[in-house]
Structure 1
Amino acid sequence: MADGYRSLSIGEIRGLEAAGCRSNSWESVFVKDPFNAERIQNVTFSGIVRLGFFNGTARERCGLPLLHGIRNAHIHNCTISDNVTITDITGFIANYDIGEGVVIRNCGHISTEGRTSFGNGTRVAVLNETGGREVPIWDRLTSHMAYIITLYRHRPVAIEVIEKFIADYTESVKSDRGEIGAGSYIAGCGTIKNVKIGYGAVIEDVSRLAEGSVNSSFKDPVYIGNDVIMDHFIICSGSRVNDAAVIDKCFIGQGCTLSKQYSAENSLFFSNCGGYHGEACSIFAGPYTVTHHKSTLLIAGIFSFMNAGSGSNQSNHMYKLGPIHQGIMERGSKTTSDSYVLWPSRIGPFT
């Protein structure tokens, strides 16, 4: 077979079966030399599966050695590169290309289901909670581009050109196979569905990741930690989401931290933002927007270089008309504890 893979020999098939492995079609399992069947135990194969060689040892961060290989798993329609470690998968791994040196252990379901754009093209109802200023997120979104899409609605031709550009990119990345980049570490996760994972990412003990892109890199890896739920998202290099944060329809730029039960939906976070304990809804968080306290709600506003005091709140409702209003806090603003702002408002810089 092309790309250095070959079919299993009769002896290798018998060795795998003796180690508790099963397949309805061993003809659809391909391997790369030097193949070591002893590193594969109690594995069910289905679909077309390509296996690299396994001849080394990975290590947990505590120093615990883990032999490269696959044990106690169901692998469906995957390409697994060299020296990968996959152990104790209670559900299955399906329709993924897994890079060299990846460690996946003690997980539930990791799968790609149908054609997906991995979060690209998701329309985020930023600033106006009822819609009308939606920003389609994509891997290369910048704050400048998002600002134009959000606020320059009086320039419909410009908006149309930008959104066409994003739509073309979204179509180009659609696939029925996910990717897990080389050197990534995934452990103790519940469900990962339709998620593209970049190089060196660390994802551990999450509850659910769905329809998203983890744009990690070796130089600045992404960390997603315990009990996190993320749907329809893109997260960029150097960012951290952990401690039971709940994220839906959000773009998370470089160097951001969302943690300590933070909740965010329909929001954009650009570089070096921090969100802890509180809630964000339909916000445009420019660089260095920080909220660190419980009972703090940021809603339907534009912020940057901003520090939200404890209990800060804004209201975008107008009696029976619903959440139709919005506001702008220009850069460098600071809200006091238990402050309340009724949108529409505009607050000047360094206020």
Structure 2
Amino acid sequence: MGKVNKQPLEKLGFDWLNEGNIKNEYHLESNKNKAHKEYRNLSEQEVSTLILNQNYSPNWENIFVTDNFNPNQVRNSKFYGTIKIGNISPVYLDYKDLKLPTGVYNSQIINCEIGDDNAIHHVRYMSNYITGNDVILLNINDMETSPNAKFGNGILKEDETEDKRIWIELCNENGGRPILPFDGMQATDAYIWTRNRHDHVFQQKLKEITEASFSKKGGAYSEIGNQVVIKNSNMINDVIIGDYAYIKGVNKLKNVTVHSTETAFTQIGEGCEIVNGIIGYGCRIFYGVKAVRFILSSFSQLKYGARLINSFLGDNSTISCCEVLNSLLFPAHEQHHNNSFLCAALIMGQSNMAAGATIGSNHNSRSADGEIIAKRGFWPGLCVSLKHNSKFASYSLIVKGDFLYELNIKIPFSLISTDVQNDRLIIVPGYWFLYNMYAVMRNSKKFIGRDKRTIKNQHLEYDILAPDTINEMFESLDIIEEAVGKSIYPHWPNSKNEGKKILLDQNFKLGQDIYIENVECSKRKVVLLKARESYQLFKRLIRHYATTQILGQSTSEGLSAAQVIEKIQSLKNIKRKEFENLGGQIVPRCDFKKLMDDIKSDELKTWKEIHQQYHSWSANYRHEKFAHALASLADITENPIDKWDESFIAQIIEESIETQKWIYDEIYRSRKKDYDNPFRTMVYENREEMDVVIGSLEDNSFIQSEKVELDSYIQKAKIFIKNLPNQQS
């Protein structure tokens, strides 16, 4: 317990650090930018006016002002330590109907530098702060800065012991994958740090790089940026708050960096308690949020009592009304419901948690060390409960129910459900494309529209057909072949080849259940439905993916058909690479391995250099994706690239046109079912009322945009075919 000590009043503001008054020693780069004004001592007349206005200082010599200082706008306030006050103009500041005259009123200021034209009213205790210009501070109880303030970064200051360091314990509730948070941390950083925990050299290098990014010297001031408004708040301690931030009614904001600019301003609202964190640009935090040991990336939201603890939330995400613990969430995560719970999970983006879903509850395993890993597009349905440890392929949709056994779902775009009556697990591969094309295609476009980042120097992949999902489809083809072969001929050798023959033979009727192995940690059956349909679907989508990338060389890269053919032939010896989702950025696995090697060998010594590598990957991603598409087409058609001619290219493009038409037709058809289903329409008096309430099918903006995209695709494809060299002759 701390001890209350007595010190002489004249020392107040000069005893912050052991070495005494730090006055002009600013150790943060942002602090240094503030120390540029010309100050002077108060005149005798100004001192007299200040005293007449019920102000107090044990030594007026320690107060410095600019030439445009107005003592008449400083009233009933106390000043201790070294105080610097900028211009005070005869104006008032107006923000959302809040109108306050500039100056300092009814406040206690200790060792601070106040910017130009601040309106500081009823700040009961403000110690060791720098404020920008045009700042409003109203009715705040406590604004302190400790000598070893770190502003949310996981670093130590001089003479601090290791137990003072702040770690964020991601992905595993027992703290086995901790990372050190730092200002500027991206989801990719958090991901690479939580992986490869056995590589002690790599882990130590990341720690050293982080520590080297910050000064170990204490004495950094808290900082309030320009045009910031803070009102009706209790505790604002050890903070850096960017320009144009708006903070009102918070209970506690402690050891936090809040990024904000005029075009991407951050707001924090009533009843929030936010401790040991970093908040990105353009964020919104409202109504009773509790966030502790966290990073909230740019343009994300925490609302309505959400709890974010020991977690990283990626860009363009929303969490409200629920609890998230020990989780690493990639960009574009959605979780909105009060009874939704997420713990000890790695969720790789474009995800949506339904009400009642309890994903990652370690109460269903032997100890608090289990993990859930879900690739992008993870959609657990209402009241889904999963058991540790489990892994899910991209775009897994889980039907309501309790899943009592560990799962390893490797087939993407699957519907996963429990057949309770027959005690078996059901998997429908490719479900989204077979039954709900509207949702899966809209999902892809939705996240692109919601990406509000002002600087998109790190490419986040939102397309449902990308190197990661295509590689999963290839793996799924092998799985389906094996499952069919073993189910039909359980005692035959080389069941995979037999399964492939059966799947390709349209005359062979699959009239029996197809069972799949190594999916669930149980002895019960796992049934694979729609085996042939999904097998053919995945092969069709792989070919379509490749064709869209070939056509993209003409549209996005501006190449002629002949130049595209030439580029294809220059890549004739490529092989299909493995890719990994690094924080929403899809990267060849070999590049990730090289990054690790470069970090361990000190080729990359700072986070800035590491981030530059991410940007380099992003700049090269189109080429990598194109090369992967060509290799995928060669594999799926069993036709090497050096054997391709213009006729082959024309053929796959014609096929792609038909696939694009099919995609549009399925988008329209899957949405049309909602208008034709009598159980959906029965709540409306007639079709006219239904159109008023939910909008007419023909006016659906997404369907309309997809029709425009279809027409454009067909036109570009036909022009490309026409311009192929032998087609012109």
Q: Same fold (TM over 0.5)?
A: yes
* Deviation of 1:315 (Å): 4.2
Match of 2:237 among 161, 169, 193: 193
Q: Distance in 2 between matches of 1:190 and 1:327?
A: 38
Contact 1:269 1:285 in 2 (8 A): yes
Q: Distance in 2 between matches of 1:183 and 1:172?
A: 30
Runs of 4+ in 1 over 6 A off after TM superposition: none
| Matched letter for residue 232 of structure 2 | G
**Residue matched to 1:335:** 380
| Matched letter for residue 304 of structure 2 | K
Contact 1:117 1:170 in 2 (8 A): no
Give % identity.
25
**Residue matched to 1:38:** 72
The RMSD of aligned alpha carbons is 1.7
Q: Which has the higher contact order (CA 8 A, sep 6+)?
A: 1
Write the deviation string for residues 31-77 of structure 1: whole angstroms up to 9, x where unpaired.
11122111111110001001111104343333443211111100100
Structure 1 residues 100-119: aligned runs within 5 Å:
100-119=133-152
Q: Distance in 2 between matches of 1:150 and 1:174?
A: 29
Q: Helix, strand or coil: the match of 1:163? A: helix
Contact 1:273 1:289 in 2 (8 A): yes
Q: Cα gap change, 1:307/1:174 in structure 2, threshold over 3 Å: closer, same or farther?
A: farther
Q: Helix, strand or coil: the match of 1:120? A: coil
Specify which structure has the higher proportion of strand: 1
Q: Distance in 2 between matches of 1:318 and 1:101?
A: 51
Write the deviation string for residues 123-145 of structure 1: whole angstroms up to 9, x where unpaired.
10001111121011111111111
* Deviation of 1:317 (Å): 2.9
Contact 1:236 1:254 in 2 (8 A): yes
**Residue matched to 1:232:** 276
**Residue matched to 1:269:** 313
Q: Helix, strand or coil: the match of 1:190? A: strand
Q: Distance in 2 between matches of 1:142 and 1:301?
A: 17
Q: Helix, strand or coil: the match of 1:153? A: coil
Q: Helix, strand or coil: the match of 1:166? A: helix
Q: Cα gap change, 1:332/1:220 in structure 2, threshold over 3 Å: closer, same or farther?
A: same
* Deviation of 1:175 (Å): 3.7
Q: Distance in 1 between matches of 2:280 and 2:190?
A: 15
Q: Which structure 2 segments of 5+ residues have no match?
A: 1-23, 25-35, 155-165, 397-729
Write the deviation string for residues 201-241 of structure 1: whole angstroms up to 9, x where unpaired.
11111010111111222221111110000110100101111
Q: Distance in 2 between matches of 1:6 and 1:315?
A: 60
**Residue matched to 1:178:** 222
Q: Helix, strand or coil: the match of 1:112? A: coil
* Deviation of 1:153 (Å): 1.6
Match of 1:292 among 327, 331, 336: 336
Q: Helix, strand or coil: the match of 1:27? A: helix
* Deviation of 1:162 (Å): 1.9
Q: Distance in 2 between matches of 1:289 and 1:127?
A: 15
Structure 1 residues 123-138: aligned runs within 5 Å:
123-138=167-182
Q: Distance in 2 between matches of 1:329 and 1:125?
A: 18
| Matched letter for residue 279 of structure 1 | E
Q: Cα gap change, 1:173/1:101 in structure 2, threshold over 3 Å: closer, same or farther?
A: farther
Match of 1:4 among 20, 38, 50: 38
| Matched letter for residue 72 of structure 2 | E
| 1:305 equivalent in alignment to 2:339 | no
Match of 1:95 among 128, 135, 139: 128
**Residue matched to 2:563:** none
**Residue matched to 2:393:** 348
Contact 1:6 1:30 in 2 (8 A): yes
Specify which structure has the higher proportion of helix: 2
Q: Helix, strand or coil: the match of 1:300? A: strand
Write the deviation string for residues 258-302 of structure 1: whole angstroms up to 9, x where unpaired.
000001100000101110101000010111111111110011011
Contact 1:235 1:253 in 2 (8 A): yes
Match of 1:83 among 117, 122, 127: 117
Q: Distance in 1 between matches of 2:132 and 2:78?
A: 20
| Matched letter for residue 225 of structure 2 | G
**Residue matched to 2:259:** 215
Q: Cα gap change, 1:319/1:280 in structure 2, threshold over 3 Å: closer, same or farther?
A: closer
* Deviation of 1:176 (Å): 3.6
| 1:202 equivalent in alignment to 2:246 | yes
Higher mean C-alpha displacement, 151-160 vs 49-58: 151-160
**Residue matched to 2:649:** none
Tell me which structure has the larger Cα radius of gyration: 2
Write the deviation string for residues 298-350 of structure 1: whole angstroms up to 9, x where unpaired.
11011111100101003453778521100111100111111000110001111
| 1:156 equivalent in alignment to 2:200 | yes
Q: Distance in 2 between matches of 1:178 and 1:348?
A: 44
Q: Helix, strand or coil: the match of 1:188? A: strand
Higher mean C-alpha displacement, 57-66 vs 208-217: 57-66
Q: Cα gap change, 1:291/1:64 in structure 2, threshold over 3 Å: closer, same or farther?
A: closer
Contact 1:316 1:344 in 2 (8 A): no
Contact 1:45 1:76 in 2 (8 A): yes
Q: Helix, strand or coil: the match of 2:106? A: strand
Q: Cα gap change, 1:129/1:79 in structure 2, threshold over 3 Å: closer, same or farther?
A: same
| Matched letter for residue 326 of structure 1 | E
Contact 2:93 2:102 in 1 (8 A): no
**Residue matched to 2:210:** 166
**Residue matched to 2:105:** 71
Contact 2:365 2:388 in 1 (8 A): no
* Deviation of 1:174 (Å): 5.3
Contact 2:300 2:315 in 1 (8 A): yes
Write the deviation string for residues 155-214 of structure 1: whole angstroms up to 9, x where unpaired.
332222222111112436854411111111111110011111111111111010111111
Q: Distance in 1 between matches of 2:129 and 2:172?
A: 37
Task: Using structure 1 for the length normalisation, give the TM-score.
Answer: 0.96
Q: Which structure 1 segments of 5+ residues have no match?
A: none
Match of 1:53 among 79, 87, 111: 87
Matched residue pairs, number? 350
Higher mean C-alpha displacement, 29-38 vs 1-10: 1-10
